């Protein structure tokens, strides 16, 4: 068994869609980024790459590469799984936390789990997603951005 950890953060920006776990969520702002800025999937990719001993998302999908401009991060997750599988590894389970003051995440979590479980090739029961606020403190609390953390277990 191999475990990996991932963390990512993106700032809110006007004129962008908010995409988390491959789900477009109605909100007055989205997240700034070179790709679709799906902070949850980026943390997940880093956890998977970490567990596989294969570096990080920036090494495989650099944000200086025009090929990844506005890319759907579910495609990055698919490519990450190709790398994981090339090492003869499969996902046992993943657990993630979204840190955001707003919007409410719970209505969208089932769809996020469906998207992720489909790409990882595991049942939704093996994809746990949680959300918490930051109780008004720090950059999360000031609604400047959203962070996500994730652990992945491979076998
Ligand atoms: Mg990112």
Angstrom distances, CA of residue 79 to CA of 8, 49, 73, 86? 18, 11, 10, 11
User: Strands, E, within 109-144: which ranges?
Assistant: 127-132
pLDDT at 63: 86
**Rounded to the nearest whole angstrom, what is the distance from the C-alpha of residue 85 to the centroid of ligand 1?**
22
Contact indicator for 149, 99 with CB cutoff of 8 Å: yes
Measure the CA angle with vertex 6, ends 3 and 10; round to 5°.
Answer: 170
Whole-number Å distance between alpha carbons of 10 and 42: 10
**Rounded to the nearest whole angstrom, what is the distance from the C-alpha of residue 7 to the centroid of ligand 1?**
9
**Rounded to the nearest whole angstrom, what is the distance from the C-alpha of residue 123 to the centroid of ligand 1?**
25
pLDDT in tens, the chain (155 residues): 999 999 999 999 999 999 999 999 999 999 999 999 999 999 999 999 999 999 999 999 998 888 888 899 999 999 999 999 999 999 999 999 999 999 999 999 999 999 999 999 999 999 999 999 999 999 999 999 999 999 999 99
**Rounded to the nearest whole angstrom, what is the distance from the C-alpha of residue 125 to the centroid of ligand 1?**
25
């Amino acid at each position: 068994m191999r475990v990996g950890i991932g963390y990512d953060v993106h700032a809110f920006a006007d004129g962008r869609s908010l995409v988390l776990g491959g789900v477009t969520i109605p909100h007055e702002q989205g997240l700034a980024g070179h790709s679709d800025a799906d902070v949850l999937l980026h943390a997940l990719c880093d956890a998977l790459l970490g567990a596989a001993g294969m570096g990080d998302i920036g090494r495989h999908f650099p944000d200086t590469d025009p090929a990844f401009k506005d890319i759907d991060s579910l495609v990055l997750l698919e490519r990450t799984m190709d790398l994981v599988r090339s090492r003869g590894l499969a996902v046992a389970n993943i657990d993630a936390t979204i840190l955001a003051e707003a919007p409410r995440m719970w209505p969208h979590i089932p769809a996020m789990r469906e998207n992720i479980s489909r790409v990882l090739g595991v049942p939704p029961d093996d994809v746990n997603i949680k959300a918490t606020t930051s109780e008004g403190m720090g950059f999360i609390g000031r609604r400047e951005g959203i962070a996500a953390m994730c652990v992945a277990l491979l076998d």
